[in-house]
Copies of this chain bind each other. A is one copy, B any other.
Amino acid sequence: MNDPALPGFAQVLAAAARIAPHAHVTPVLRSRTLDELAGAQLFFKCENLQRAGAFKFRGACNAVWSLPAEEAARGVVTHSSGNHGAALALAARTRGVDAHVVVPRGAVPAKLAAIAAYGATLHECEPTMAAREAMAEAVRARTGARLVHPFTDPLVIAGQGTAALELLSQSGGLDVLLTPVGGGGLIGGSAIAVAGRGAVTRVVGAEPAGASEAHDSLARGERITVHPADTVCDGLRGTIGEINFALLRRYQVEVITVADADTLVAMRLLWQRLKLLVEPSSAIVLAALLQQRERFAGQRVGLLLSGGNVDLDAMLGG
């Protein structure tokens, strides 16, 4: 079970200490109405209230502050459809270094505006993983910036695990922790944190039915690398990373697939009941819970609300 290439609990604990001066300890909210609806005790970890509006700041901040000073001085670069780009831009700003963000054409305008507002340089490319990686590599070669991958970087994974660490303490213990699954950085880090704490908690992922490569990879026993993405969950379109897939298998994480229609119903419930602006990629965890209500009945369930970067202009009119 010991693979030295995979980040472990020590890295998550180190990340927690490293990001503490910069990241928020986000609140955990309860709702009696949603508890009644679910027939369970729900603990909502509000990473939509994290700096830059998503848990992604944890991993980006851990990566930026792990760099030796001379390497950090050359800046950081990444490719991201949104939240990770904003997170890295802000993390770089906390250390006073440059950030370059490669963004696929068609990304949510509100997210691009946030990245630019944090002072990063934007580089637009075609909306394919190959084009994203190629342009990030070109920027890296030109500037000497350190590449901080949105979900396969071990420092990023360790940083994302700090949210689950906090939630375990804040909730007083959980039977289940539900997190969204995109590239697998959050669920990978969460699985490490939960196992490291020695918690009985089962980690369960929620993935859009229209971008279900983590679920399908686990079912097949090997990682699927080419997968069409058709989902409103714009934060969950990435393909599961190799290291991330290895973490899912090591920690025997289960992944549930969720239809977009159910996710949108859950999003509205969260807006109405928790008074929180969460994006579809967050609401998917509540949708997964409600889809399998009997199974989770009576349990203490943590739900990781990953982000709140909704495109209000599209929703309410510019």
Q: Which chain A residues have a beta carbon within 8 Å of chain B's beta carbons?
A: 27, 29, 32-33, 46, 48-49, 51, 53, 110, 117, 268, 271-272, 274-278, 308, 310, 312, 315-316
Contacts and interface: CB of A to CB of B under 8 A. Distances in A.
B49 A274 contact: yes
Contacts of A27: 27
A274 B278 CA distance: 11
A312 B275 contact: no
A45 to B, nearest CB: 13
Given A49-B29, A275-B276, A277-B275, A315 B316 contact: yes
A190 to B, nearest CB: 21
A48 to B, nearest CB: 4
Contacts of A49: 29, 274-275
* In the A-B complex, the 5 residue pairs with the closest CB atoms: A275-B308, A48-B275, A275-B277, A27-B27, A271-B277
A316 B268 contact: yes
A312 B29 contact: no
A305 to B, nearest CB: 9
Nearest to A282: B275
Contacts of A117: 33
13 contacts: A27-B27, A29-B49, A33-B117, A48-B275, A49-B274, A49-B275, A271-B312, A272-B312, A275-B277, A275-B278, A275-B308, A276-B276, A277-B277
Copies held by the complex: 2
User: Residue among A51, A271, A277 with the most chain B CB within 10 A?
Assistant: A277
Nearest to A264: B316
Contacts of A315: 316
A271 to B, nearest CB: 5
B29 A51 contact: no
Contacts of A33: 117
Contacts of A316: 268, 315
Contacts of A278: 275
Nearest to A118: B33
A271 B308 CA distance: 9
A277 B272 CA distance: 8
Contacts of A310: 271
A110 B275 CA distance: 13
Given A27-B27, A315-B316, A316-B268, A53 B275 contact: yes
Max chain B Cβ within 10 angstroms of own Cβ: one of A48, A308, A310: A308
Contacts of A51: 32
Nearest to A32: B51
A242 to B, nearest CB: 32
A315 B271 CA distance: 12
A316 B272 CA distance: 12
Contacts of A275: 46, 48-49, 53, 276-278, 308
A316 B311 CA distance: 13
